Amino acid sequence: MFARWFKNLFQKSPASAPARPLNAAAPRFVPPATPEKPSRAEPPPARQKAPARQEAAAPPVAAGAVVSHPAYGVISIRIQRQDAATACYLVDETLLIDTGCVWARPALRKTLLELGADKTIREVVNTHDHDGAIGNNALLLELARPKVFAHYLAIPEIRFPDEDGAARLGNAPVEAEPLPEKLHTAHCELEVLPLPGHSPGHIGLFEPGQRWLFCADLNAVGAGELELLDADGPRWLASLDKAIALRPACMYDARGAVWSQENEVVARLERERGFLLELRNQILQKAPDAGTLQELTRKVFEQPEWLKRVSCDGWQALLDAPAPVRCKFVRSFLCDMHAPG
């Protein structure tokens, strides 16, 4: 895909953070010993609500990687460079949600080996087919030989990475299977939640007992503008409605950000929704006076008054995107407006 090739041209080298000493005091997969947190020796009963904690409680354990324990049984691996961040979540030692960007591979390899996850991971879920979700599938196969699951619309890019995109970035072809309706770990039952809009085969995972939502890129913060090339505004709105209706108590996104209170999660999602609703209103208002898609897109995005009424937090990538990306997004609303029924 041209967009991914274009993006690759501007990929910067990973930040060369100095190696840090291992956190030898922290045994594998054992949450830090704090009074409010259950120890590994006394796990909570399956599906019992466990206390949530904010990210970044633990020190980094690998160069460029920060490992934290935002909730019992959940390990966040967040890898950052100067201009980007990527994250994977390990649930109950056996299920890895996303495999991170290709540029994060050395840090991810080191971290997984330090955690001993190469001996425990049995399943990998790719939440969609962008680099941040699939970039290290081959590494996981090499280390742990797990089953890889994805939405069927994401599987073609995983199995046949584009020579101008994912393959050029370093993604090797990987066999993936369509996701089942639910995935089970020792303490979690994760429901597969189709959340299209960011991309056609984009999903989240919802744990109904804990009301955890692994939302991938439903939250637009941090997404690159060229990740929006396959985006569909109306579908994104519907996915936000679906997620808000679940009233998640905790939300984990694809960049390692964690919201650990229901009101924070809902507020975050409502802000995203408010932007898209206002954008749709602007398209409706300005469509009668526009002759071309490009003219309509200019009228919508080059008059910033409406942008002052909504939060653009998270949508800066769209505002900064090349004109063809914004045009395609506007077009998705036009298609929906003319849909039958």
86-70-195-280 Cα dihedral, nearest 10 degrees: -80
Own/partner contacts of 18-25, CB < 8 Å, gap of 24 or more, are: 18/63, 19/63, 20/59, 20/60, 20/61, 20/62, 20/63, 22/61, 22/114, 23/58, 23/59, 23/61
Q: Where are the beta strands (DSSP E) in 195-263?
A: 203-207, 212-216, 250-253, 258-259
- Of the two residues 31 and 100, which places its CB atom closer to Zn ion in the complex? 100
Residue 305 Cβ vs Zn ion, minimum distance, rounded to whole Å: 30
User: Residue 2 region, left (φ>0) first, then alpha (ψ -120 to 50), else beta?
Assistant: alpha
Query: Which residues are within 8 A (CB) of 183 and not within 5 positions of it... i.e. 6 or more apart?
Result: 95, 123, 125, 149, 189, 190, 192, 205
Closest approach of Zn ion to the CB of residue 222, in Å:
9
Taking the complex as a whole, the smallest distance from the CB of residue 132 to Zn ion amounts, in Å, to: 6
Our CB check for Zn ion shows the closer of 69 and 81 to be 81
Complex with Zn ion: residue 98 or 114, whichever CB lies closer: 98
At its nearest, how many Å lie between Zn ion and the CB of residue 26?
A: 31
Minimum CB distance to Zn ion smaller for 236 or for 259? 236
- One DSSP character per residue, 38-91 reads --TTSPPPTT----B--S--SPP-BTTEEEEEEETTEEEEEEEETTEEEEEEEE
Fill in the per-residue mask, 168 to 197: x = in contact with Zn ion (CB under 5 A), - = not in contact: ------------------------------
Question: d(Cα 234, Cα 18) in Å, to the nearest integer?
Answer: 44
Q: How many helices (H) and strands (E) does the chain have?
A: 11, 13
- State in angstroms the smallest separation of the CB of 102 from Zn ion: 14
Residue 277, CA distances (Å) to 125, 240, 241, 283 in order: 31, 11, 11, 10
The residue (of 7 and 105) whose beta carbon lies closer to Zn ion is 7
Q: Provide, rounded to whole angstroms, the least separation between the CB of residue 313 and Zn ion.
A: 17
Q: Which is nearer to Zn ion, 207 or 227 (CB)?
A: 227
Q: Tell me the closest approach of the beta carbon of residue 124 to Zn ion, in angstroms.
A: 16
Q: How far is the CB of 277 from Zn ion (least distance, A)?
A: 22
Alpha helices in 216-292 (DSSP H): 233-245, 262-286
In contact, 149 and 126? CB cutoff 8 Å: yes
Sole window of 209-217, 235-243, 268-276, 284-292 interacting with Zn ion (rule: CB under 5 A):
209-217
Cβ-based nearer residue to Zn ion, 64 or 132: 132
Shortest reach from residue 143's CB to Zn ion, in Å: 23
Q: Which of residues 60-119 bind Zn ion (CB under 5 A)?
A: none
How many chain residues bind Zn ion (CB under 5 A)? Answer: 3
- Amino acid (1-letter code) at residue 208: P
Output the CA angle 119-204-165, nearest 5 degrees.
80
Closest to Zn ion by CB, 92 vs 217, is 217
State the binding string over 211-250 for Zn ion (x if CB under 5 A, else -).
------x---------x-----------------------
- Torsion angle of alpha carbons 180, 182, 185, 187, nearest 10°? 180
| Contact code string over 128-167 relative to Zn ion, x by CB under 5 A | --x-------------------------------------
Pick the piece of the chain touching Zn ion (CB under 5 A) from 34-42, 62-70, 126-134, 229-237: 126-134
Nearer to Zn ion, 130 or 151 (CB): 130
* Residue sitting closest to Zn ion (CB): 130
Binding site for Zn ion (CB under 5 A): 130, 217, 227
